[in-house]
């Protein structure tokens, strides 16, 4: 297998085949712009890496000796359409062309959300005064991204294509190894995190020397913008190896510099339901969340199809994994050793404390309002399914309890049960009920049935009475009592006590009479 992979990587004729999958209109325009500027366009970085791996990315990374931004603008003029996006910061000469020239028949799958039907061409000039392509490639992040090939040589069939590979990136690609270029982390500390992202998305391992270098330089990540860090972290969470890679980041200390709140859970013991400390329990929950998302039929067999539909929503997998990793963030700040309970450790209120911390972190990390609120919301509710399981052992599940849960969870009712399942699977202490996972699966099924049969017909239709009706029929003034009446009336509908407008009016009259009786008695 290794010999076969090596032969494939060294069969550079496939580079021409990969280039041939792009529209010839685009390639011809690139060559005309290169000729007009008197420059050699080098395809570099992730594009060459993916070509050698047998993939066809929908973007092209190109470097030139100089005038990258000018080449961007000329390419747009040559194509007659396209959008220019500046990429360079400080004195860096770089830009992006977004060209709406691709269609589904081209068979390309752009990696950026919302970029379907478009190709991106990223241009950059040689870095830090590099005088040739070899020197420029040596200044990049990892050796597997430090390879290039002349665009003209790929098009010219009379010239054998040659990968420019000053740091032996082809060999590292064969060995599925991530090795940093010299001084990579000093030039841009984000590259430390990018290494773990590449490990997550490509399935490569970070070589020991690079790992040691990351460990020596972890403090430098503090100087990187939260937006850049957040982008890399989300790509890790969107992969299938988030659990493994986040754990490796913790081992070198990089994770603690990014999310110091997680470090507080290391070594923090938990009650008998658990066997791991707070952090490693949270990390295990992340791993189980990956398994649940990948194979929901193993954990919720009766509702696997619904779960797949739910997790297929844009950004959902990332949000669920963040919720799993951060679900116990509130434990360190709520830990108490109770003298009245034989010195037992408790974390009362850790769910709400965790919600508050994640809302704060989400603002600091510039998360969107939706992302912040939904992740924090899941964390704030993550104990609710366990509480309902406790109640359900003693008595039948009420429609009112299901209504309250569905109103709190809203569109993340299923996500709440996925989080509870990952939390339960990550806790294997001697005091944990052995049937906990089966109970959660059964509870979700029952909640969904009650919701569909009794709750959905009520909440999806107009209320039997509105606030205006309360004013007109009962001479009430708007205030807190309004919400209490309408919420209680909704419960009565769900429980089947009220089925008509007239019944609702009678119910409110009775409710108000009880309120007045209570007031008279208290007086």
Q: What is the reported pLDDT for 433?
A: 85
Q: What is the reported pLDDT for 113?
A: 37
- CA distance readout (Å), 48 to 108, 143, 145, 313: 16, 12, 8, 31
Q: What is the reported pLDDT for 4?
A: 39
Helix, strand or coil for residue 68? Answer: helix
Q: Is the pLDDT of residue 44 over 50?
A: yes
- The CATH architecture assigned to 279-459 reads Orthogonal Bundle (1.10)
Rounded Cα gap, residues 270 and 162, in angstroms = 58
Between 297 and 433, where is the model more confident?
297
Average pLDDT over residues 144-158: 92
* Paired sense of beta strands 148-150 and 42-44, if any: antiparallel
Environment class of 338 (CB within 10 Å of its CB; exposed 0-12, middle 13-18, buried 19+): exposed
Span 45-85, pLDDT tens digits: 999 999 999 888 889 999 999 999 999 999 999 999 999 99
Q: What is the reported pLDDT for 519?
A: 52
- Whole-model pTM: value is 0.89
Rounded Cα gap, residues 511 and 492, in angstroms = 11
Rounded Cα gap, residues 344 and 336, in angstroms = 8
**pLDDT-above-90 percentage for the chain:** 76
**pLDDT-above-70 percentage for the chain:** 91
Q: Which CATH number fits domain 184-258: 3.40.640.10, 1.10.110.30, 3.30.565.10, 3.10.450.50?
A: 1.10.110.30
Using the structure block, give the residue that is written with the tokens 């929950």: 285
* Paired sense of beta strands 344-346 and 336-338, if any: antiparallel
Q: Is the pLDDT of residue 406 over 80?
A: yes
- CA distance readout (Å), 115 to 105, 120, 225, 259: 15, 9, 24, 31
The closest of 450, 392, 397, 419 to 285, measured between CA atoms, is 419
Q: Who contacts 128 (Cβ-Cβ below 8 Å, separation ≥6)?
A: 139, 187
Q: What is the reported pLDDT for 160?
A: 76
Check: CB of residue 477 under 8 Å from CB of residue 471: yes
CATH superfamily of 2-175: Beta Polymerase, domain 2 (3.30.460.10)
Average pLDDT over residues 142-156: 95
Rounded Cα gap, residues 173 and 283, in angstroms = 29
Terminus-to-terminus CA distance in the chain, angstroms?
Answer: 86
Rounded Cα gap, residues 53 and 9, in angstroms = 7
Span 493-507, pLDDT tens digits: 999 999 999 999 999
Rounded Cα gap, residues 180 and 184, in angstroms = 6
Q: What is the reported pLDDT for 157?
A: 77
Span 192-231, pLDDT tens digits: 999 999 999 999 999 999 999 999 999 999 999 999 999 9
Per-residue pLDDT band at 16 (split at 50, 70, 90): confident
Rounded Cα gap, residues 330 and 271, in angstroms = 15
Look over the chain and give the mean of its residue pLDDT values, rounded to a whole number: 90
Q: Where are the alpha helices (DSSP H) in 343-463?
A: 350-364, 369-381, 384-394, 399-409, 413-425, 436-450, 456-459
Give CA torsion, residues 364, 369, 375, 380, to 10 deg.
Answer: 90
Average pLDDT over residues 8-24: 76
Structural domain spans, the chain: 2-175, 184-258, 279-459, 467-522
Q: What is the reported pLDDT for 91?
A: 63
Environment class of 394 (CB within 10 Å of its CB; exposed 0-12, middle 13-18, buried 19+): exposed
How far does CA 202 lie from the centroid of its chain?
17
Helix, strand or coil for residue 167? Answer: coil
Q: Across the chain, which distance is largest between two alpha carbons, in Å?
A: 101
Q: What is the reported pLDDT for 364?
A: 94
Span 273-311, pLDDT tens digits: 767 899 999 999 999 999 999 999 999 999 999 999 999
* DSSP string computed for 272-331: TT-SS-HHHHHHHHHHHHHHHHH-GGGT-GGGHHHHHHHHTSTTHHHHHHHHHHHTTTTH
Per-residue pLDDT band at 6 (split at 50, 70, 90): very low
Q: Who contacts 522 (Cβ-Cβ below 8 Å, separation ≥6)?
A: none
Check: CB of residue 104 under 8 Å from CB of residue 117: yes
């Amino acid at each position: 297998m290794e010999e076969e992979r090596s032969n494939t990587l060294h069969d550079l004729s496939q580079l021409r085949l990969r280039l041939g999958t792009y529209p010839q209109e685009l390639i011809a325009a690139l060559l005309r712009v290169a000729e007009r500027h008197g420059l050699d366009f080098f395809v570099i970085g992730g594009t060459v890496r993916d070509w050698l791996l047998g993939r066809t990315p929908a973007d092209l990374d190109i470097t030139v000796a100089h005038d990258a931004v000018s080449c961007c603008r000329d390419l747009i003029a040559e194509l007659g359409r396209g959008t220019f996006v500046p990429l360079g910061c400080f004195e860096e000469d770089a830009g992006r062309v977004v060209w709406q020239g691709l269609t589904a028949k081209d068979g390309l799958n752009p990696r950026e959300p919302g970029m379907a039907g478009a190709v991106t061409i990223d241009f950059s000039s040689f870095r830090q005064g590099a005088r040739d392509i070899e020197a420029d490639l040596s200044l990049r992040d990892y050796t597997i991204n430090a390879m290039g090939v002349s665009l003209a040589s790929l098009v010219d069939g009379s010239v054998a294509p040659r990968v420019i590979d000053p740091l032996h990136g082809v060999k590292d690609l064969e060995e599925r190894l991530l090795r940093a270029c010299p001084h990579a982390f000093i030039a841009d500390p984000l590259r430390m995190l990018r290494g773990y992202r590449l490990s997550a998305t490509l399935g490569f391992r970070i070589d020991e020397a690079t790992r040691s270098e990351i460990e020596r330089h972890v403090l430098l990540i503090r100087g990187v913008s939260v937006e850049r860090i957040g982008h890399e972290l989300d790509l890790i969470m969107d992969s299938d190896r988030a659990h493994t890679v986040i754990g490796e980041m913790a081992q070198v200390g990089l994770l603690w510099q990014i999310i110091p709140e997680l470090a507080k859970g290391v070594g923090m013991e938990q009650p008998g339901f658990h066997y791991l400390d707070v952090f490693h329990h949270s990390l295990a929950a992340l791993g189980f969340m990956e398994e649940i998302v990948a194979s929901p039929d193993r954990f919720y067999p009766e509702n696997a199809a619904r779960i797949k539909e739910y997790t297929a929503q844009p950004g959902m997998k990332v949000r669920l994994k963040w919720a799993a990793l951060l679900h116990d963030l509130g434990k360190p700040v709520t830990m108490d050793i109770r003298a009245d309970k034989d010195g037992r450790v408790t974390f009362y209120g850790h769910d709400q404390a965790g919600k508050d911390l994640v809302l704060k972190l989400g603002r600091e990390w510039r998360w969107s309002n939706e992302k912040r609120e939904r992740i924090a919301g899941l964390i704030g509710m993550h104990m609710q399914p366990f509480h309902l399981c406790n109640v359900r052992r003693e008595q039948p599940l009420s429609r009112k309890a299901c209504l309250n849960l569905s109103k709190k969870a809203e569109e993340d009712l299923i996500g709440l049960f996925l989080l509870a399942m990952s939390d339960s699977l990550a806790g294997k202490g001697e005091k944990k009920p052995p049937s906990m996972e089966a109970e959660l699966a059964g509870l979700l099924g029952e909640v969904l049935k009650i919701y569909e049969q009794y709750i959905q017909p009520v909440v999806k239709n107009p209320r039997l009475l509105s606030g205006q009706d309360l004013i007109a029929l009962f001479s009430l003034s708007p205030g807190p009592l309004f919400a209490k009446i309408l919420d209680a009336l909704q419960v009565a509908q769900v429980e089947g006590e009220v089925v008509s407008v007239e019944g609702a009016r009678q119910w409110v009259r009775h409710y108000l009479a009880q309120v007045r009786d209570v007031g008279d008695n208290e007086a």
